[in-house]
Amino acid sequence: MASHNPTQSDEATGAQVVTRFAPSPTGFLHIGGARTALFNWLFARHHGGKFLLRIEDTDRARSTDAAIDAIIDGMQWLSLDWDGDTVYQFSRADRHAAVAQELLEKGEAYRCYLTQDELAAMRTEAQEKRLPFRVRSPWRDRTDGDLSVPHVIRLKAPQDGEVTISDKVQGDVTVQNAELDDFILLRSDGTPTYMLSVVVDDNDMGITHVIRGDDHLNNAFRQLALIRAMGWREPTYAHVPLIHGADGAKLSKRHGALGVDAYRDELGFLPEAVNNYLLRLGWGHGDAEIISRDEAIAWFGIDNVGRSPSRFDFKKLENLNGHYIRESENSYLADIAKPRVEKLVGRALSDADLALLTAAMESLKPRAKTMIEVADSALFLFETAPLNFEEKAAQQLRDAPDGILAAVTAKLRAIDGWSAEDIEHAVRSTSEEAGLGLGKLAQPLRAALTGRSVSPGIFDVLALLGRDNSLARLDAAHNYPAGT
Ligand code: GLU
């Protein structure tokens, strides 16, 4: 075995930190992957280092361009920018194969001519003896194979002793070398295996810290054997526990194992909320729950990543989202809500509509937990009279005290401008003159103006709709046939 230095952290050596996110583009950027990307990004930014993106597209049958686009789109949405060009693993296959050759030449790898039948027989024998199956190839110490016969190249992995990884999250983890086998580096068709490609790329990209899901911990021992065989610098490993569902089971679709695009488009989350939530999922800084990006960069470290799996909690994410919605600029929220509003009202919004949507955010954002709610609650602004009344609103119209809507309409029509003061006065004086509490008038008035039983405050609704639109809706609602 090649000599090696014990794993060291770069905090100690002072070398520049280089991390990477290495997704396989076989599906969307799921929430666990996004957290891995975030942790790597934060670690690099905290140390003033580099964060690189490598697309592991060597599985040609399962990798798709759509998945690559989804990954890049998701990272951009979360503002996880990476340094330098994106590395595409498949394009480096020649380099990976060259390293396998180098290992052959160094005597650290060998050509193995075991056939499928021989391997199957070994597997059966292991099963019969109730032993774990490990490939022990007779070709490990032979060099007399016929090059023209199909064969693979295997690593000559250490067989005795043990190997310990000082993982930054898991602590020291030791495995007996006898448990590892001589895994394949190059397949018989000459293509490199995943295990080889990852190690070569991490080395060539100068990766100092490998931060990833703990489902890769087992791979790390094999990868380390390869790194040592090449005499390369060992990265610091940090294997982060996977995210579990609220019930403790492995994260499934039902729990929220969706693409980040679904968190944006279907569930209406803001990237600030998703980032904050993912950061807290498995990492903590005292009691801090709301953490800005600058704080996250200043505070992030692997030391505070927990060892037990974190549970995904939609309620918490929603509460954070509500917070970020309330904190956001109105124009930012309006831009996000716009496509959904356009889709649901069935037309493009004009500049004036967008200005209205922006103004409405002030009254809409205190009530909403998601951007879906924000957009849906803004729809009434863009509908045309006669409105489609929700059942409850229709009932409120039917229950309105006689003549009250006609009275308030007359008062509103009589005001000169459309100032907040005049609007409020017209509504309040109508209810006082009728001897009714404001609520008795506000409910049917809201129903008449919005078609809904829930909306922002009634004075805000009148102000946002403007004079003509408000009066048109009220006139249409007077004629609302009783009993419909
Ligand atoms: N491509 C692997 C994955 O998507 C990650 C490999 C790694 O981080 O080393 O699970």
Give, in words, the CATH class of 10-243.
alpha beta
253 is catalytic: yes
> What is the pLDDT, as a whole number, of residue 12?
46
pLDDT tens sequence across 175-228: 999 999 999 999 999 999 999 999 999 999 999 999 999 999 999 999 999 999
CB 370 within 8 A of CB 390: no
pLDDT digits (tens, 9 = 90+) for 99-108: 999 999 999 9
pLDDT tens by residue, 32-82 = 999 999 999 999 999 999 999 999 999 999 999 999 999 999 999 999 999
**Chain Cα centroid distance, residue 430:** 51
Task: Say if residue 1's pLDDT is above 90.
Answer: no
Average pLDDT, the chain: 93
Q: Is residue 2's pLDDT more than 50?
A: no
What CATH number belongs to 391-483? 1.10.10.350
Indicate if the pLDDT at residue 336 is higher than 90: yes
Tell me the pTM.
0.91
pLDDT value at 170 more than 80: yes
Q: How many other CB atoms are there within 10 angstroms of residue 69's CB atom?
A: 11
Distance 435 CA to ligand 1 centre (A): 70
Å from CA of 20 to ligand 1 middle:
10
Q: What is the pLDDT of residue 134?
A: 87
Tell me, what's the pLDDT at 13? Answer: 55
Q: Are 209 and 235 in contact (CB under 8 A)?
A: yes
Predicted pLDDT at 440: 93
211 lines ligand 1 (CB under 6 A): no
Q: Which atom belonging to ligand 1 lies closest to the Cα atom of 23?
A: 4
Mean pLDDT of the 378-402 span: 92
Question: Is the confidence at residue 423, as pLDDT, over 90?
Answer: yes
| pLDDT for 8 beyond 70 | no
What is the pLDDT at residue 439? 92
Sign of CA dihedral 134, 135, 137, 141: negative
Question: How far is the centre of ligand 1, averaged over its atoms, from the C-alpha of 444 (Å)?
Answer: 58
Pocket-testing residue among 41, 56, 210, 223, ligand 1, by greatest number of atoms within 8 A of Cβ: 56
Long-range contacts of 7-12 (CB under 8 A, 24+ apart): 7/165, 7/166, 7/234, 7/235, 7/236, 7/237, 8/234, 8/236, 9/168, 9/209, 9/236, 10/47, 10/49, 10/208, 10/209, 10/236, 11/47
- Determine the pLDDT at residue 245: 85
